[in-house]
Chain A
Amino acid sequence: MKQRYVLRVNGRDLEAEAGAHESLLDVLRERLRLTGSKKGCNEAECGSCTVLLDGRPVVSCLVLVPDAADRDVVTIEALAEEGVPHPIQRQMVEQGGVQCGYCTPGMIMSAYALLRDNPDPTDEEIRFAISGNICRCTGYGKIVKAVRAAALEMKEQSGNGGAAS
Chain B
Amino acid sequence: MSEDPSTETAEETQAPYHWIGKNVTKPDALEKALGATEYVGDMVVPGMLHGKILWADTPHAVIKRIETEEAARVPGVHAVLTSKDVPGSNRFGLAVPDQCALAEEKVRSVGDAVALVAAEDEEAAEEAASKIKVHIEHLRPILTYADALDPDAPKIHEGGNVFQHTTVRKGDLDKGVRESAVIVENAYHTHRMDHVPMEPEAGLAYVDPSGVLNILVGTQYPYRDRRQIAPALGLPMNKVRVIQAPIGGGFGRKDDITAEIHVGLLALKTRRPVRLVYTREESLVANTKRHPMAMNFRTGASADGRLTFLDGDIYGDTGAGVSLGAYVIKKAGIHATGPYDVPNIRVDTYTLYTNNLTSGAMRGFGVMQAAVAHESQMDQLAHKLGMSPLEFRLKNCLKPGLASSTGQLMNEGCGIEATLQRIKDYMSARELRFNRPEAASSDS
List chain A positions with a Cβ less than 8 A from chain B. Answer: 29, 33, 35-43, 45-46, 48, 75-77, 79-80, 85, 89-90, 92-94, 96, 98-105, 108, 134-137, 139-141, 145
Contacts and interface: CB of A to CB of B under 8 A. Distances in A.
B222 to A, nearest CB: 17
Nearest to B3: A141
B44 A33 contact: yes
Interface of B: 1-3, 23, 25-26, 28-39, 41-42, 44, 195-200, 246-251, 277, 279-280
B42 A101 contact: no
- Main DSSP-derived SS at the B contact region: loop
A141 B3 CA distance: 8
Given A40-B199, A100-B250, 10 more contacts: A40-B280, A42-B280, A43-B280, A46-B198, A48-B198, A77-B35, A93-B25, A93-B30, A136-B197, A141-B3
A98 B251 contact: no
Contact of A42 (B32, B34, B250, B279): B279
- A-B CB proximity, top 3 nearest: A36-B35, A101-B32, A102-B248
Nearest to B195: A136
- Main DSSP-derived SS at the A contact region: loop
Nearest to B218: A100
Nearest to B250: A100
Q: Which of B26, B38, B277 has most A Cβ within 10 Å?
A: B26
17 contacts: A36-B34, A36-B36, A38-B248, A40-B199, A46-B198, A75-B35, A92-B33, A93-B26, A98-B29, A102-B39, A104-B33, A105-B35, A136-B196, A137-B249, A141-B1, A141-B2, A141-B3
B318 to A, nearest CB: 23
Contact of A93 (B33, B42, B196): B33
Q: Which of B3, B31, B197, B248 has most A Cβ within 10 Å?
A: B248
Given A36-B35, A85-B33, A96 B23 contact: yes
Given A98-B29, A103-B198, A136 B42 contact: no
A89 B33 contact: yes
A8 B439 CA distance: 68
A143 to B, nearest CB: 10
A100 B249 contact: yes
B35 to A, nearest CB: 2
Q: Which of A36, A42, A75, A77 has most B Cβ within 10 Å?
A: A36
A36 B38 CA distance: 8
A106 to B, nearest CB: 9
Contacts of B42: 29, 35, 38
A41 B247 CA distance: 16
Contacts of B198: 38, 40, 46, 48, 100, 102-103, 134-136
B121 to A, nearest CB: 9
Contacts of B251: 136
A22 to B, nearest CB: 9
B34 A136 contact: no
Contacts of B26: 93, 96, 98-99
Nearest to A142: B3
A45 B200 CA distance: 14
Nearest to B24: A96
B29 A92 contact: yes
A48 B42 CA distance: 13
Given A39-B41, A93-B26, A108 B247 contact: no
Contacts of A29: 42
Contacts of B3: 141, 145
B25 A94 contact: yes
Contacts of A136: 195-198, 249, 251
Contact of B199 (A35, A100, A140, A145): A100
B280 A93 contact: no
Nearest to B200: A40
Contact of A89 (B30, B247, B277): B30
Q: Which of B1, B23, B31 has most A Cβ within 10 Å?
A: B1
Contacts of A98: 26, 29, 32-33
